[in-house]
Copies of this chain bind each other. A is one copy, B any other.
Amino acid sequence: MRSELLRKDIESKSIIKVGGAFDVMSAKLVEFHGYDAIWAGSFAISATRAVPDASILTMTEFFDVASHMAEACKIPVIADCDTGYGGPSNVSHLVKKYENAGIAAICIEDKIFPKQNSLLENGQNDLISEKEFVAKIIAAKEAKQDKNFMVIARIEALISGVGMDEALKRATAYENAGADAILIHSKQKTPEEVFEFTELWKGTSPIVVVPTTYDSVTIDELISHKIKIVIHANQTLRAAYASMSRVLKQMVNSNSLSEVEEEISSMDDIFELQEMYQIKDKEKHLEQELKKLGYIN
């Protein structure tokens, strides 16, 4: 069980590194390069569909991506479930689906549905009441059947500007309601407010951060400030975007494809990712089985 694996990693490692992915290929690369877990992020998945990160794609669409990752990868998948796509009944429904699909953890946040991306300038960041979000956490906790399945509560108080006290109060409330980890989100260029939170908070649940804006923070600083999980949420997507833009621009204007050769992987790299060669191995194995049964001489 990958949910168990995630729990064990949290206990045994100084920090858990989670790499962002948006399809199975990127998820396999996150796994291959040694990350502890995969973040199936809504922002990145929405981007691959070229729709705003604003609750436009449905739970079904996000779920399909996350469950395909869980089918194909061995490390835990943590699914970004935005606001939970509705009320407590929706959260209850999704927890069953995600757990059944072998996903190790979900993350829900305390903004109003439909939400907007937290890093968008002048974005809509209103919070739902603490009571309403606590109700969602209780629904999630009661819906899960595997005790190791994790429900991560993401606090948007610092994003929405209601302040540190509210963030701390909510963190405690969410932990009491049954959240298995607390994600404290920030859009500052530096980690100060996040570190202030981790200093002041008295809870014992693992703390999760997404340092997209305060990207110069070091792993050592995170560890020394009691942060247990760090998510590199969207750099994978942004690397793909940048290189595709560059290569497409070059190709469309060039006289020959060989000009981009240096910038692209080999066909063989892709065949390996797809396990094309394993299909050939399986064919050989099948032939031998058919020989044993006398169908081939």
Which of A147-155, A194-202, A263-271 is the contact stretch? Answer: A263-271
Which residues of B are found within 8 Å of A26, using beta-carbon distances? 244
Whether, in the assembled complex, A139 has its beta carbon less than 8 Å from a beta carbon of chain B, the answer is yes
Chain A stretch 31-75: residues in CB contact (< 8 A) with chain B = 32-35, 43, 46-56, 58-61, 68, 71-72
Query: Once the chains are docked, how many angstroms separate the CA of A53 from the CA of B264?
Result: 19
B-side contacts of A251, CB under 8 Å:
19, 232, 235
Pair B279/A54 contact, Cβ less than 8 Å? yes
Task: Count identical subunits in the complex.
Answer: 4
Interface residues of A in 81-113 (CB under 8 A from B): 85-90, 92-93, 96-97, 100-102, 113
* In the assembled complex, A179 has its CB within 8 A of some CB on chain B: no
The reply to whether the CB of A224 lies closer than 8 angstroms to some CB of chain B is no
CA distance A262 to B245 in the complex (A): 14
* Of A3-11, A157-165, A287-295, the one touching chain B: A287-295
What's the least CB distance linking A85 to chain B, in Å? 7
Chain B contacts of A24 at CB under 8 A?
48-50
Q: Which of B235, B255, B261 contacts A247 (CB 8 A)?
A: B235
Interface size class of A (residues with CB under 8 A): 35 or more
CA distance A122 to B29 in the complex (A): 26
Q: Is there contact, CB below 8 Å, between A88 and B282?
A: yes
A166 to chain B, nearest CB (A): 16
Residues from chain B with a CB closer than 8 A to the CB of A261 are: 215
**Which A residues contact B (CB, under 8 angstroms)?**
17, 19, 23-30, 32-35, 43, 46-56, 58-61, 68, 71-72, 85-90, 92-93, 96-97, 100-102, 113-114, 116-117, 119-120, 122, 124, 130-131, 134-135, 138-139, 173, 176-177, 211-212, 215-220, 232, 234-249, 251-253, 255-258, 260-261, 263-267, 269-271, 273-276, 278-280, 282-283, 286, 289-290, 293, 295-296
